[in-house]
């Protein structure tokens, strides 16, 4: 893993390059925290440890295959994972200029500390380094993440009603956002 400090000196952002049992276990714990908090992130209340392990094992396999970039934010003193985000770069050949931002997860113990914004900035910088000029993501309409993406300069495309389910089975709308990235001149 490579690491670099972020603006909050209590946290470090790392790009994950290899898998470990400990890492998967910590990501599973983070996922349960998010799902139990009621966030719509692709999992239901009946999520099992095995399902969560399988999900993160698949993500880490995509990292190994260079199809996904996984970033984590860790508490600098405890090394506990505070948040994570993915940049999905394995897209069709007519979309090599863009990437999808996915699974922005911040543990409830670490919210409102700027971690999500720092993860987002880090992933945007990586996308620029990869010559990506467009990023796309979706999030629950009117959620705290929705507000954060707007504050971070993302452009709202539109809402899709009843797009997904919250973990308890209630329908929720999603909003798509995009951000054009400016590549440095060479």
- The pLDDT of residue 113 is above 90: no
Please count the other Cβ atoms lying within 10 Å of the Cβ belonging to residue 171.
Answer: 11
Distance (Å, whole) CA 46 – CA 98: 34
Q: Identify which of 93, 116, 145, 159 has the alpha carbon closest to the alpha carbon of residue 8.
A: 116
Do residues 6 and 73 touch, judged by C-beta distance below 8 A? Answer: yes
DSSP helix/strand/coil, 112:
coil
Q: Which domains does the chain have, with CATH numbers?
A: 2-137 (3.40.630.30)
Do residues 30 and 49 touch, judged by C-beta distance below 8 A? Answer: no
**Between the CA of residue 123 and those of 48, 51, 90, 99, 144, what are the distances in Å?**
29, 26, 15, 10, 19
DSSP helix/strand/coil, 133:
coil
User: pLDDT at position 165, please?
Assistant: 97
- Secondary structure (DSSP) of 15-76: EE-S--HHHHHHHHHHHHHHHHTT--SS--TT--HHHHHHHHHHHHHHHHTTSEEEEEEEET
Q: Using one digit for the tens of pLDDT, what is the confidence trace for 45-78?
A: 999 999 999 999 999 999 999 999 999 999 988 8
Distance (Å, whole) CA 63 – CA 57: 10
- The pLDDT of residue 8 is above 60: no
Q: Using one digit for the tens of pLDDT, what is the confidence trace for 127-172?
A: 999 999 999 999 999 999 999 999 999 999 999 999 999 999 999 9
pLDDT band at 9; cut points 50, 70, 90: low
- The pLDDT of residue 30 is above 90: yes
Distance separating the N- and C-terminal Cα atoms of the chain = 28
- The pLDDT of residue 5 is above 70: no
């Amino acid at each position: 893993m490579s690491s670099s400090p972020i603006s909050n000196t209590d946290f470090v952002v790392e790009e994950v390059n290899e898998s470990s049992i400990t890492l998967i276990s910590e990501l599973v714990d983070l996922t349960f925290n998010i799902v139990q908090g009621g966030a719509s992130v692709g999992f239901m209340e009946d999520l099992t440890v095995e399902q969560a392990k399988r999900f993160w094992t698949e993500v880490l396999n995509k990292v190994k295959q260079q199809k996904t970039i996984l970033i984590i934010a860790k508490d600098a003193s405890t090394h506990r994972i505070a948040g994570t985000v993915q940049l999905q770069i394995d897209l069709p050949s007519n979309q090599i200029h863009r990437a999808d931002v996915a699974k922005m997860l911040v543990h409830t113990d670490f919210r409102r500390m700027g971690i999500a914004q720092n993860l987002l900035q880090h992933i945007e910088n990586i996308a620029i380094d990869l010559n990506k000029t467009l990023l796309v993501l979706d999030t629950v309409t009117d959620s705290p993440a929705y507000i954060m993406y707007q504050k971070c300069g993302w452009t709202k495309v539109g809402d899709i009603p009843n797009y997904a389910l919250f973990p308890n089975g209630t329908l929720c709308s999603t909003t798509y956002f995009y951000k054009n990235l400016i590549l440095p001149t060479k």
